[in-house]
Chains A and B, each alone.
Chain A
Amino acid sequence: MIGQVKKMIKQCFFSQNNIKYVDYKDLDLIKKFLNPHARIMSRKKTAVGARSQRQLAEAIKRARFMGLLPYLSR
Chain B
Amino acid sequence: MEKVETLEKEGGVQVYELGYHIVSTVAEENLPKEVETLKAIVLKDGGSLISLGEPKLINLAYSMTKSVADIKKKFNTAYFGWLKFETKSELMPMIKKAVDANPLVLRYLLIKTVRENTLYTPKLNSVKVADKEAPKAKKSIKTDEKKATSLEDIDKSIDELVVSAE
Interface residues of A (CB under 8 A from B): 17, 19, 21-26, 29, 62, 64-71
Contacts and interface: CB of A to CB of B under 8 A. Distances in A.
9 contacts: A21-B118, A23-B119, A24-B19, A24-B109, A62-B109, A65-B107, A66-B109, A67-B62, A71-B61
A67 B119 contact: no
Interface of B: 19, 21, 53, 58, 60-62, 64, 78, 80, 82, 107, 109, 111, 113-114, 116, 118-120, 122-124
A71 B116 CA distance: 29
B124 A17 contact: yes
Which one of A24, A64, A66, A71 has the highest number of Cβ atoms from chain B below 10 Å of its Cβ? A66
A18 to B, nearest CB: 9
Q: 4 tightest A-B contacts by CB? A: A67-B60, A23-B118, A70-B61, A21-B118
A19 B124 CA distance: 13
Contacts of A62: 109, 111
A23 B120 contact: yes
A41 to B, nearest CB: 17
Contacts of B122: 17
Nearest to B63: A67
A29 B121 CA distance: 9
Contacts of A26: 118-120
A22 B102 CA distance: 29
A67 B64 CA distance: 8
A48 to B, nearest CB: 14
